């Protein structure tokens, strides 16, 4: 599955030992198969020639994480309807949220990417790397262990359900309401649409009176618009 020798080409033996120690500290357990985690942390921007990167594991981890969060919400809110559960899942696993969690975890410190590219340091590749890491844990430890790990390391320390519930369930409507009161116009414009790892990635802007205010990225237009609306509300200071 992985190029078992690529870390030897990147790191010396001492550096590799440090890398694996830092990985164990971040995970909270000793991996059975280090190579799958090394692959999960390897971004395609790396200058060194490698056979594979973490995109396939990101695809798997995205599906596993979405399933685990859906099950968590289903059990936590036994009387809530589908719309509420869908909105909560979107708040928990959207691209910006996962990137913020990855940074708080320190995943950017051990990720293997082109560190000379300054733009990558402020990008959302670390949220993608977190998804790949979940995929690696699933392959290495199985579904049940991954479920416990996600709860212990992602949901409990980084996602307050009370705070997420208090966020307006339809931020687009909130933004539309503010715009209408100001006598302005609002539209959500698709700026880009491209294939990324076999999925369509949309970039959508919240545009007020013809001026782009914010952008959001997502694998469907609804999520991208939601993120753009949330960013616009924050930027405009709307209560």
Record the tokens describing residue 103, joined without a space: 């940074």
Can you tell me the distance from the alpha carbon of 31 to that of 97, in angstroms, rounded to the nearest whole number? 26
Known catalytic residue: 71?
A: no
* Cα of 139 vs its chain's centroid, Å: 19
Catalytic residue among 62, 87, 140, 230: 62
Known catalytic residue: 51?
A: no
Can you tell me the distance from the alpha carbon of 166 to that of 161, in angstroms, rounded to the nearest whole number? 9
Catalytic residue among 38, 87, 131, 140: 131
Q: Which residues touch 175 (CB under 8 Å, ≥6 apart)? A: 186, 206, 229, 232, 233, 238
Helix (H, G, I), strand (E, B) or coil at 212: strand
Can you tell me the distance from the alpha carbon of 187 to that of 88, in angstroms, rounded to the nearest whole number? 24
Q: Which residues are known catalytic residues?
A: 62, 131
């Amino acid at each position: 599955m992985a190029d078992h020798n690529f870390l030897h080409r990147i790191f010396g033996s001492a550096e590799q030992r440090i890398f694996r120690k830092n990985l164990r500290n971040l995970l909270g357990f000793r991996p059975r198969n280090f190579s799958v985690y090394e692959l999960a942390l390897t971004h395609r921007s790396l200058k060194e020639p490698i056979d594979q990167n973490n995109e396939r594991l990101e695809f798997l981890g995205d599906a596993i994480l979405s399933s685990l969060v859906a099950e968590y919400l289903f059990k936590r809110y036994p009387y809530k309807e589908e719309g509420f559960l869908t909105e909560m899942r979107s708040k928990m696993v959207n691209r910006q949220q996962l990137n913020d969690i990855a940074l708080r975890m320190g995943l950017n410190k051990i990720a293997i990417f082109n560190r000379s590219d300054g733009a990558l340091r402020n990008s959302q590749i670390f949220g993608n790397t977190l998804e790949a890491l979940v995929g690696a844990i699933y392959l290495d430890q199985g579904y049940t262990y991954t479920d416990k790990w996600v709860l212990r390391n992602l949901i409990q320390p980084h996602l307050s359900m009370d705070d997420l519930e208090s966020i307006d369930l339809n931020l687009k409507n909130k933004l539309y309401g503010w715009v209408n009161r100001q006598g302005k116009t609002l539209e959500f414009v698709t700026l880009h649409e491209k294939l990324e790892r076999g999925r369509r990635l949309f970039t959508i802007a919240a545009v007020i009176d013809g001026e782009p205010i914010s952008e959001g990225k997502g694998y469907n237009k609804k999520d991208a618009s939601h993120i753009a609306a949330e960013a616009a509300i924050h930027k405009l200071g709307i209560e």
